[in-house]
């Protein structure tokens, strides 16, 4: 008998969000500073949850659980510049009772590839201990 | 009979902190983005508390009280650039049982004036209600 | 003979932008960190220019002129929290050939007052010298 | 005959920098927000250059070349909290004429592992074209 692992059926959902590059996000190379891409990924994750029918804010409140980041990575393709309109496409590539992996694609609205990335999250409770998603939220995420 | 107000004796203390401008803090004008000065002010406030003999982190933990920002302002003199070493000088210009006003001067280490500013803080508890400084912390701040 | 001053006719235009509070913008008090309001003001200014028919990005490129910030201030009313939807209302309260003053009101979409603020800007060229708005841009701004 | 590639002798240098977690860098989980680690990595890179005898600021000015980020990743071990003092240890793990790979270890001063990470950089000129390090800077970096 197999422990069916991480994969199983993960949602085909792709969440789309828009961000417009802020002056604050540029640096003296006249492009968006590389750390800000991770903030845009977060905008994507937040949208993903909304699209699944819940708000990450409410999940924190209702369950007392937090999704901490265990790993994050980004590959930069073309620079994003001030006032560029970007599309962030977010999907889930892995879902277990305790972990969640998102992948991201960022494009300019004209279609130019800007970046791809990934984040791996672990669910913990207020004491910092690894926890499991309540069924409700697992269902939401499997969408 | 007078309500003796806000002033009374406020400390002559001046706290000094150093910050070095990060690439992340620059913008495409090749100067530090204006909102970051308020982060440097916070570095100054934090140092001020340390110089008074306590950590703002511990105050939050021990008292359950928070110093929220009610007003903030900054006047920009000369731009700060990447890798500039800055000195932030912080003092208290007003202290009541419930409010605290800090003023700031930022200079480059070569003496050029960079900015001045002010923040006004109000003490609240976890429910968001105005609260009074415990005597211990008043004494610390009067230092 | 009068020096006609700063005022003259300034536009009645009010630009509206929306921002949604990001997790990155919160702090451990579970509210938006105070410096981020100045970033939202910038989003408002950028929208104001767009509403006037130009992009601040293009103005920088075409004229080689920059609007630096000389003064900035904010009064905080009610805290903004993660995922709050905010409306930033931006107007010009002062316009001279060389300076520009914006004022801002931030509200939650449910109407709660979040903050008001002001920024004063000075036009400079690439050498850092005070400059005058080209007529085109003055007309844009007078709308 | 082999093209000896990227590796060759890379410096054994380890640059150490200190950062103290700012209130601005925390989020409502009461830990440092994950994107800020990449800012601390940048503080590490900047220190690395200084330790090699040059400033990244001067390299940009003198050569007109920029080190853009092509890839970035981070693994998060233990959370960093407000006022934690962190040590960032930076080294070069790969150096070619056109690319540079840094690796980072972040620890709390009490020795707890906080994060590890990597960034890959590509040298470009002002037109955005891949360029080669001038010999001077290659020597600096080989230390």
Choosing among C23, C38, C50, C54, which should be mutated to test the A contact, i.e. which has the most A CBs within 10 A?
C23
Token pair of A23, please?
A: 């002056």
Cα atoms found within 13 Å of the Cα of residue D81, Cβ hemisphere only? 10
pLDDT at residue D5 greater than cutoff 90: no
pLDDT at residue C2 greater than cutoff 60: no
- Rounded CA-CA distance D25/B120 in Å is 21
Judged by CB atoms closer than 8 Å, whether chains meet at A71 and D74 is answered as yes
Query: What average pLDDT does the segment B65-71 reach?
Result: 96
- Rounded CA-CA distance B101/B72 in Å is 10
Residue A4: Cβ within 10 Å count: 7
Q: Predicted confidence band at D1 (pLDDT cuts at 50, 70, 90)? A: very low
* Positions of E strands within A6-136: 15-20, 66-76, 85-95, 99-108, 113-124
Which domains are assigned to chain A? 15-142 (3.10.129.10)
- Rounded CA-CA distance B118/B137 in Å is 21
- Rounded CA-CA distance B59/B123 in Å is 11
Judged by CB atoms closer than 8 Å, whether chains meet at D42 and B24 is answered as yes
Using alpha carbons, select from B97, B90, B78, B94 the residue that is nearest to residue B31. B78
Predicted local distance difference test score (pLDDT) of residue A4: 41
Judged by CB atoms closer than 8 Å, whether chains meet at C56 and A22 is answered as no
Query: What average pLDDT does the segment B17-42 reach?
Result: 97
pLDDT at residue D2 greater than cutoff 60: no
pLDDT at residue D11 greater than cutoff 90: no
- Rounded CA-CA distance A87/A72 in Å is 19
Using alpha carbons, select from C84, C30, B49 the residue that is nearest to residue D26. C30
Q: Which residue has the tokens 């890379």?
A: D10
Cβ atoms B95, B86 nearer than 8 A? no
* Contacts C24 to D, Cβ<8 Å: 27, 33, 35
* Contacts B66 to C, Cβ<8 Å: 29
Q: Predicted confidence band at D4 (pLDDT cuts at 50, 70, 90)? A: very low
Q: Which residues contact C129 (CB under 8 A, 6 or more apart)?
A: none
Predicted local distance difference test score (pLDDT) of residue A9: 58
To the nearest whole angstrom, how far is the Cα of C117 from the nearest Cα of chain D? Answer: 20
Token pair of A126, please?
A: 């207020």
pLDDT at residue A3 greater than cutoff 90: no
Dump pLDDT digits (tens) for C107-133: 999 999 999 999 999 999 988 899 999
The per-residue b/e assignment along D88-125, b for 16 or more CB within 10 angstroms, e otherwise, is: bbbbbebbbeebbbbbbbbbbeeeeebbbbbbbbbbbe
Predicted local distance difference test score (pLDDT) of residue A71: 98
Reduced to 3 states (helix: H, G, I; strand: E, B; else coil), residue C132 is: coil
Choosing among B35, B61, B127, B130, which should be mutated to test the C contact, i.e. which has the most C CBs within 10 A?
B35
Q: Predicted confidence band at D9 (pLDDT cuts at 50, 70, 90)? A: low
Reduced to 3 states (helix: H, G, I; strand: E, B; else coil), residue B39 is: helix
Q: Predicted confidence band at D126 (pLDDT cuts at 50, 70, 90)? A: confident
* Contacts D46 to B, Cβ<8 Å: 22-23, 83
pLDDT at residue C16 greater than cutoff 70: yes
The model's pTM is 0.94
- Rounded CA-CA distance A26/D20 in Å is 24
Cβ atoms B49, B121 nearer than 8 A? no
Cβ atoms B7, B94 nearer than 8 A? yes
- D33 or D59, which is more confident: D33
Which string of DSSP letters, residue by residue, matches D39-99?
Answer: HHHHHHHHHHHHHHT--HHHHHHHH--EEEEEEEEEEE-S---TT-EEEEEEEEEEE-SSE
Reduced to 3 states (helix: H, G, I; strand: E, B; else coil), residue D81 is: coil
Judged by CB atoms closer than 8 Å, whether chains meet at B70 and C79 is answered as no
A72 touches chain D (CB under 8 A): yes
pLDDT at residue B5 greater than cutoff 50: no
A27 touches chain B (CB under 8 A): yes
Cβ atoms B81, B21 nearer than 8 A? yes
Cα atoms found within 13 Å of the Cα of residue B2, Cβ hemisphere only? 5
Give CA separation, C26 vs A47, B87, C22, D27, in Å. Answer: 17, 27, 7, 5
Token pair of C6, please?
A: 């700063």
- Rounded CA-CA distance C46/A85 in Å is 13
Judged by CB atoms closer than 8 Å, whether chains meet at B76 and C68 is answered as yes
pLDDT at residue C5 greater than cutoff 80: no
Choosing among B38, B50, B82, B88, which should be mutated to test the D contact, i.e. which has the most D CBs within 10 A?
B82
* Contacts C61 to B, Cβ<8 Å: none
To the nearest whole angstrom, how far is the Cα of B1 from the nearest Cα of chain C? Answer: 33
Q: Predicted confidence band at C57 (pLDDT cuts at 50, 70, 90)? A: confident
C135 touches chain A (CB under 8 A): no
pLDDT at residue D72 greater than cutoff 50: yes
B4 touches chain A (CB under 8 A): no
Picking from B22, B39, B55, the nearest residue to D42 by CB comes out as B22
Average pLDDT for chain D: 92
Using alpha carbons, select from A69, A66, A67, A76 the residue that is nearest to residue A107. A76
Average pLDDT for chain A: 92
Q: Chains touching chain D at 3 or more Cβ pairs under 8 angstroms?
A: A, B, C
Judged by CB atoms closer than 8 Å, whether chains meet at B82 and A26 is answered as no
Judged by CB atoms closer than 8 Å, whether chains meet at C46 and A23 is answered as yes
Using alpha carbons, select from C46, C55, C9, C35 the residue that is nearest to residue C121. C46
Picking from A34, A70, A75, the nearest residue to D76 by CB comes out as A70
Q: Chains touching chain C at 3 or more Cβ pairs under 8 angstroms?
A: A, B, D
Reduced to 3 states (helix: H, G, I; strand: E, B; else coil), residue A62 is: helix
Using alpha carbons, select from B64, B48, B11, D115 the residue that is nearest to residue A69. D115
Predicted local distance difference test score (pLDDT) of residue C126: 87
Rg of chain D, C-alpha, whole Å: 16
Q: Which residue has the tokens 């220019």?
A: C49
Token pair of B130, please?
A: 């105005």
Dump pLDDT digits (tens) for A19-64: 999 999 999 999 999 999 999 999 999 999 999 999 998 898 899 9
* Positions of E strands within C83-127: 85-95, 99-108, 113-124
Dump pLDDT digits (tens) for B115-131: 999 999 999 998 889 99
Q: Predicted confidence band at C9 (pLDDT cuts at 50, 70, 90)? A: low
What does DSSP assign to residue A73?
E
Query: What average pLDDT does the segment A5-11 reach?
Result: 60
pLDDT at residue C1 greater than cutoff 90: no
Share of chain A above pLDDT 90, in %: 85
Predicted local distance difference test score (pLDDT) of residue A48: 97
Judged by CB atoms closer than 8 Å, whether chains meet at C71 and B66 is answered as no
Judged by CB atoms closer than 8 Å, whether chains meet at B46 and D23 is answered as yes
In this prediction the ipTM stands at 0.93
A23 touches chain C (CB under 8 A): yes
- CA C17-C104-B86 angle, 5° bins: 105
What does DSSP assign to residue C34?
T
- Rounded CA-CA distance C68/C99 in Å is 10
B114 touches chain C (CB under 8 A): no
For the beta sheet containing B66-76, the strands, ordered from the edge strand earlier in sequence to the opposite edge, are B15-20, B85-95, B99-108, B113-124, B66-76, C66-76, C113-124, C99-108, C85-95, C15-20
Dump pLDDT digits (tens) for C81-105: 999 999 999 999 999 999 999 999 9
- C1 or A143, which is more confident: A143
Closest residue of chain D to C82, computed from CA coordinates:
D28
Query: What average pLDDT does the segment A104-121 reach?
Result: 98
Cβ atoms B51, B118 nearer than 8 A? no
Give CA separation, D135 vs A87, D97, D98, in Å. Answer: 40, 9, 12
* Contacts B24 to D, Cβ<8 Å: 39, 42
* Contacts D29 to C, Cβ<8 Å: 28
B63 touches chain C (CB under 8 A): no
Cβ atoms C85, C18 nearer than 8 A? yes
Q: Which D residues in the span 74-103 are in contact with B, Cβ-Cβ below 8 Å?
A: 81-83
Token pair of D5, please?
A: 């590639």
């Amino acid at each position: 008998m197999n422990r069916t692992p991480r994969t199983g059926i993960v949602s085909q959902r792709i969440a789309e969000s828009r961000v417009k590059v802020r002056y604050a996000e540029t640096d003296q190379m006249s492009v968006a500073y590389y750390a800000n891409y991770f903030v845009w990924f977060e905008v994507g994750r937040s949208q993903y949850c909304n699209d699944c029918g819940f708000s990450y804010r409410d999940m924190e409140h209702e369950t007392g659980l937090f999704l901490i980041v265990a790993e994050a990575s980004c590959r930069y393709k073309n620079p994003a510049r001030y006032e560029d309109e970007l599309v962030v496409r977010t999907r889930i590539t892995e879902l277990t009772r305790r972990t969640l992996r998102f992948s991201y694609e960022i494009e300019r609205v004209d279609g130019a590839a800007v970046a791809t990335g990934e984040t791996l999250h672990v669910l913990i409770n207020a004491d910092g201990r690894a926890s499991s998603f309540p069924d409700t939220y697992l269902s939401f995420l499997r969408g």
